Structure 1
Amino acid sequence: MTREAEVTVTEVLAELAALEDPKVRAINERHGDDHGVNLGKLRALAKRLKTQQELSYQLWKTGDTAARLLALLICRPKAFERDELDAMMREARRPKVHDWLVNYVVKKSPHAEELRQAWFADPDPVVASAGWALTADRVTKRPEGLDLAGLLDIIEAEMKDAPDRLQWAMNSCLAQIGIDHPEHRARAVDIGERLEVLKDYPTSPGCTSPYAPIWIGEMVRRQQDQAS
């Protein structure tokens, strides 16, 4: 690492430390995240820094959650090799880091499909949840070649007892199958009703419940309203 990069990382870490807010940290910690930086301020910092791949690498290496979130905002997703992304995913234990790594980086990578297949049945449920998140994205955007009935078989057999983050990703896949593929909708709703996963999840006013039967019904209704 060059002296210039070292100074830059030091300066950025100091700026992140200055943005630390105990109230924000308390809220984030309830969701499993260990940082206290307001995400709006984090995004503003990323916008000012612009894309800097080398700085992104160095920020990621610090292991600090806020630094890693910033790293994911200023990186070039297509610059990462497949094995680099795999290693990053296995290090991404905090929910927000995991979510941003999947959505902001891996989905834009030329290695996305290869990683989806590799992660889908990984014995680590956190890594497997990334595979399911990428699968849900394909269900919506590029379903050709996916065995949707087979995915429903796995969801029906395994989602009820899956660890939380994996369960959430499988449930999202279930909902997307029901929303985007009418031929599988009745079965997707039936699976959701029988398993009752996230049925009692607290939902803010104006937001759609993650309980698959409600989620599917609401999104299909919106599609129909738009079409009429």
Structure 2
Amino acid sequence: MAELAGLEDPKARAVNEKHGDDHGVNLGKLRAVAKRLKTQPELARELWDTQDTAARLLALLICRPNPHAEELRVAWSADPDPAVASAGWALTTERVAKRPEGLDLSGLLDVIEAEMKDAPDRLQWAMNHCLAQIGIEHPEHRARAIAVGERLGVLKDYPTSPGCTSPFAPAWIAEMVRRSAPPVA
């Protein structure tokens, strides 16, 4: 905790607070700490129990492999705390991309469509990432994912640097699908 406190940066806090986060730790520096610590499930549990956002982010980075990931994904996604719920949606997004078997993707789209527009910023961002991942990875759900993104308009006006992909789900999906398409001869 002392090391995390030492990483606190007022400028990072100001930027993070604009996005609904309540910590001032640069995520690159946090990832460097996690890389040094490697996987430590016990420490991850202790960090999670602190209720401190930066500590919880570090806990997520050092808790893998986690045999309880699916149980946590389901529990966290339904948690009333937006920070916890966003962690659940991050696990869901990973599952959509890497192990979608058994996931109700249509049901996830239903939840996203019903809840994302009014969700707090951090949770909205996580749900949007899941929406985009469904559209990118699952062609059979792509049209609906794009339609949901268009209808909700979440992050449509998000400022994006030149050369970067917009986080607006329809644009993100289109760009990632374009990049993965085989070249035309």
The aligned counterpart of 1:61 is: none
Q: Which residue of 1 aligns with 2:53?
A: 93
Equivalent-residue separation in structure 2 for 1:138 and 1:148 (angstroms)? 11
Residue 212 (structure 1) aligned with residue 169 (structure 2):
yes
Residue of 170, 192, 195 corresponding to 2:152: 195
Query: 1:89, 1:101 within 8 Å by CA — same for their partners in 2?
Result: no
Distance in 1, matches of 2:92 and 2:111, equals 13
Corresponding residue for residue 4 of structure 1: none
| Structure-1-length-normalised TM-score | 0.67
Equivalent residues of 2:132, 2:172 under 8 A apart: yes
- Superposed counterparts of 1:63-102, under 5 Å: 70=33, 72-80=34-42, 84=45, 88=48, 91-94=51-54, 98-102=56-60
If the length of structure 2 is used for normalisation, what is the TM-score? 0.81
Larger gyration radius, structure 1 or structure 2: 1
Distance 1:181 1:138 in 2: 12
- Pairing partner for 1:34 from 12, 20, 24: 24
Q: Is 2:103 the partner of 1:146?
A: yes
Q: 1:89 to 1:157 in 2, by over 3 A?
A: farther
Q: Measure, in 1, the Cα distance between the counterparts of 2:115 and 2:35.
A: 34
Q: How many Å separate the matches in 2 of 1:38 and 1:106?
A: 17
- In the other structure, the counterpart of 1:165 is 122
* Cα 1:112–1:202 shift into 2, 3 Å: same
Taking the aligned partners of 1:145 and 1:160, their CA distance within structure 2 comes to 26
Number of equivalent positions: 180
Q: Which structure's relative contact order is higher, taking Cα pairs within 8 Å and 6+ residues apart?
A: 2
The residue that corresponds to 2:80 in the other structure is: 123
Q: Within 1, Cα distance between the matches of 2:50 and 2:105?
A: 27
Structure 2 CA distance, aligned partners of 1:203 and 1:98? Answer: 28
Q: Distance in 1 between matches of 2:124 and 2:27?
A: 27
Please identify which structure carries the higher helix content: 1
CA RMSD of aligned residues (A): 3.1
- Displacement of 1:140 in angstroms is 0.4
Please list the CA deviations of residues 3-34 of structure 1 after superposition, one character each: whole Å capped at 9, or x if unmatched.
xxxxxx98x68xx85x88xxx63244322332
Identity of aligned residues (%): 57
Give yes or no for contact 1:160–1:195 (8 Å, CA) kept in 2. yes
Structure 1 runs of 4+ off > 6 angstroms? none
SS in 2 for 1:77: coil
Alignment of 1:168-187 (within 5 A): 168-187=125-144
